[in-house]
A and B are shown apart, each in its own frame.
Chain A
Amino acid sequence: MAEAEESPGDPGTASPRPLMRDLKAVGKKFMHVLYPRRSNTLLRDWDLWGPLILCVTLALMLQRGSADSEKDGGPQFAEVFVVVWFGAVTITVNSKLLGGNISFFQSLCVLGYCILPLTVAMLICRLVLLAEPGPINFMVRLFVVTVMFAWSVVASTAFLADSQPPNRKALAIYPVFLFYFVISWMILTFTP
């Protein structure tokens, strides 16, 4: 299978790719993120649909009602987008500068897909926030976000760590940690 690093599909086919096939590919990658093993599937067949869906979902859920003044509120839709994509690009460029041998889009794909646990955490937090506020409410949310944050970091490390030279692994992993920490913070401080 001639898989060039940077080409996601078959150029020159007359008919469009069937939607189900794409959805299945995205779904398969979601499963790989939820049960991270050292596998190459995420890296080989990269696509950016999954990250886009996750990012849009996350940004939509982080919207609050516009009762508050805009300046003082939580992140706006565009801010979430900027943080996620700019952060992912920065981490990718950083890992390539450090000498990693992963391609640009592969790395974006992995980082984007590994936001899935945090998106699930956001869903759970939104549900929990429907109950009455209080310290127990906060503790539950804190626990869920922490677990999902750890899951995200472990999942992305499982995919990305092998592509770095051994004496620079920590240098490449730390920005990933920071990236998911910021997203977790945005989720945790969300108040409807």
Chain B
Amino acid sequence: MAAADELTFHEFEEATNLLAETPDAATTSRSDQLTPQGHVAVAVGSGGSYGAEDEVEEDSDKAALLQEQQKPQPGFWTFGYYQSFFDVDTSQVMDRIKGSLLPRPGHNFVRHHLRNRPDLYGPFWICATLAFVLAVTGNLTLVLAQRRDPSIHYSPQFHKVAVASITIYCYAWLVPLALWGFLWWRKGVRERMGPYTFLETVSVYGYSLFIFIPMVVLWLIPVPWLQWLFGALALALSAAGLVFTLWPVVREDTRLVAVALLSAVVLLHALLALGCKLYFFQSLPPEHLAPMPQVSPLPPNVPRPSTLPQSMATS
């Protein structure tokens, strides 16, 4: 069996382009228990065009490959079912993270990096890291602010960890669910490309949140315009990745729906970034503690307007 290193994902330019053009092609990976390193065989459907006449051939290709695989799909109550979502190696996760950091137009994250093998490891642990980094750096900001201005009251504010976790996990799961549902509902309008599976949508969103982690760390620098600059940069990169991934799916839809959908995606992403900035990084006024804003699961809330002028004045 060829070593997995020879078949890692970063070097097959031809296969990459072929896969990107024919997303219906089945990529199979066989992994057995003894050697956890699976290898990937790429089977491209006949021809590069879609169309009804190709479906029969693609179906028979798929059937042959499936027979070759001979792996019955485990039921959702078994542990093996969930294990299939964590079937990634360190190098694959790093590759997906790098892919999310550098979006390119036409470079579809799902096709080029996920390769029909979405994983839940990345989204889950990126969300966990982001939640804790938010809480920790928000706390650190308070410490640093107190050193500058000793009248600010410092406290560990541990409940912010809970708020951060709930917000981020809800965003990373409910928004892809809504998006997937919407795309699935509209799939009748599209002829060529089916919607991404739910797991692929969750993966895309999860990996797109990675850039917020260094952004949040850089928000420790107490220069306001620099913070807004970093925020805008990270948001642009992240939203660009999402848009480039979704564009092939929505471009066959009506123009109105496509524009509305992409705007909603970008807007929600911006709201998340803004909410994080305002909730975790407001420096408290010296006289009294700012009232904690309410948090609802979806969408992430911007703090009530009464706290905004205070935070704007003191930040």
* Distance from A96 Cβ to chain B, minimum over Cβ atoms (Å): 8
Contact B37 A167 (CB under 8 A): yes
B79-97: which residues lie under 8 A (CB-CB) from chain A? 79, 82-83, 85-91, 93
Binding site of B, secondary structure by majority: helix, strand, loop or mixed?
helix
* Distance from B68 Cβ to chain A, minimum over Cβ atoms (Å): 23
Contact B156 A75 (CB under 8 A): yes
Contact B82 A97 (CB under 8 A): yes
Complex alpha-carbon distance, A171 and B125, angstroms:
10
B8-64: which residues lie under 8 A (CB-CB) from chain A? 36-37
Contact with A along B113-140 (1 / 0, CB 8 A): 0000000010011001100100010010
Contact of B136 among A73, A98, A185 (CB under 8 A): A185
Contact A167 B158 (CB under 8 A): no
Contact of A168 among B36, B132, B158 (CB under 8 A): B36
Contact of A171 among B93, B129, B158, B159 (CB under 8 A): B93
Which range contains the number of A residues in contact with the other chain?
Answer: 20 to 34
Q: Is A52 an interface residue (CB 8 A)?
A: no
Contact B36 A190 (CB under 8 A): no
Complex alpha-carbon distance, A26 and B157, angstroms:
34
Contact B86 A97 (CB under 8 A): yes
Knowing A72-B289, A165-B36, A168-B36, the reply to whether A189 touches B139 (Cβ < 8 A) is yes
* Distance from A91 Cβ to chain B, minimum over Cβ atoms (Å): 10
Complex alpha-carbon distance, A189 and B136, angstroms:
10
Number of A-B contacts (CB under 8 A): 74
Contact B129 A178 (CB under 8 A): yes
Measured CB to CB, the nearest residue on chain B to A138 is: B143
Q: Is B260 an interface residue (CB 8 A)?
A: no
Contact A167 B36 (CB under 8 A): yes
* Distance from A77 Cβ to chain B, minimum over Cβ atoms (Å): 12
A-chain residues with CB within 8 Å of residue B136 when the two chains form the complex:
185
Q: Is B67 an interface residue (CB 8 A)?
A: no
A-chain residues with CB within 8 Å of residue B157 when the two chains form the complex:
72
* Distance from B37 Cβ to chain A, minimum over Cβ atoms (Å): 6
Complex alpha-carbon distance, A167 and B38, angstroms:
11
Knowing A72-B155, A189-B156, the reply to whether A182 touches B121 (Cβ < 8 A) is no
> Which residues of B come within 8 Å of A, CB atoms?
4, 36-37, 79, 82-83, 85-91, 93, 121, 124-125, 128-129, 132, 136, 139, 154-159, 161-162, 289, 292
8 closest A-B pairs (Cβ-Cβ)? A97-B86, A165-B36, A74-B156, A75-B158, A167-B89, A189-B156, A170-B90, A72-B155
Known: A72-B157, A97-B85. 17 other contacts (CB 8 A): A72-B289, A73-B155, A74-B156, A94-B121, A94-B125, A97-B86, A98-B86, A98-B121, A167-B90, A168-B89, A168-B90, A169-B90, A171-B88, A171-B89, A174-B125, A185-B132, A191-B154
> Which residues of A come within 8 Å of B, CB atoms?
68, 71-76, 79, 94, 96-99, 165, 167-171, 174-175, 178, 181-182, 185-186, 189-191
